Amino acid sequence: MQETKKKETFKILIVAGLIVFLSSAIGVLANISLVNRIINSECITPTTSPREASQIDLAEAKKKFDGGEALFIDARCPDEYNQGHIKGAISLPPDKLELECPLAIVQLPRESEIITYCEGGTDCQLSTDLAKKLIVLGYLNVNDFFGGWPAWESAGYPIDPEN
């Protein structure tokens, strides 16, 4: 009887191991391009680029927002982002880009239009720093929204309010 329990336990362990293996294999196959970029360290391999991010104003940022093809990236700290941000923007402080490579960035084609922003004006350099880092990582179409969150919010443009 104990021998039968051992055999059943062994079968269960074999089946569980197969399930884990197959799940891993399916996950890798489903995300092969992402895995290749991580293996090749594309996210953290800097390129040499003398190019600076273009600065855009409120009108240009709104035009690109309305076109729906630009990804807005909030460079402020997560607490500020959670208090409100441009609708659809993702949070990515510059120091987070150095520590990890967020999935949203890894999956983003290098030709994608990206608009970084922070508190705006000359008081906040976070979006400029982030834009420079994205360019070094090989992103080709990076803009820095100079007016930032205060200009967007005071204009009454679409936002995601406090979480």
Predicted model pTM: 0.68
* Per-residue confidence (pLDDT) for residue 35, from 0 to 100: 47
Provide the residue-wise pLDDT of the chain in tens; the chain has 163 residues. Answer: 677 777 788 788 787 777 877 777 676 666 555 545 544 444 544 455 557 889 999 999 999 999 998 999 999 999 999 999 999 999 998 888 766 666 666 677 888 899 999 998 777 899 999 999 889 888 889 999 999 999 999 999 999 987 6
User: Residue 10 has what pLDDT?
Assistant: 76
Domain ranges in the chain? Answer: 2-30, 54-161
- Please choose, from the candidates 136, 126, 130, the residue with its C-alpha nearest in 3D space to the C-alpha of residue 51: 136
At residue 106, the pLDDT reads 67
Over the chain, what HEC string results?
Answer: CHHHHHHHHHHHHHHHHHHHHHHHHHHHHHCHHHHHHHHCCCCCCCCCCCCCCEEECHHHHHHHHHHCCEEEEECCCHHHHHCEEECCCEECCHHHHHHCCCHHHHCCCCCCEEEEECCCHHHCCHHHHHHHHHHHCCCCEEEEECCHHHHHHHCCCCEEECC
CATH 3.40.250.10 fits 54-161, yes or no: yes
Give the bridge partners for 159, in sequence order: 86
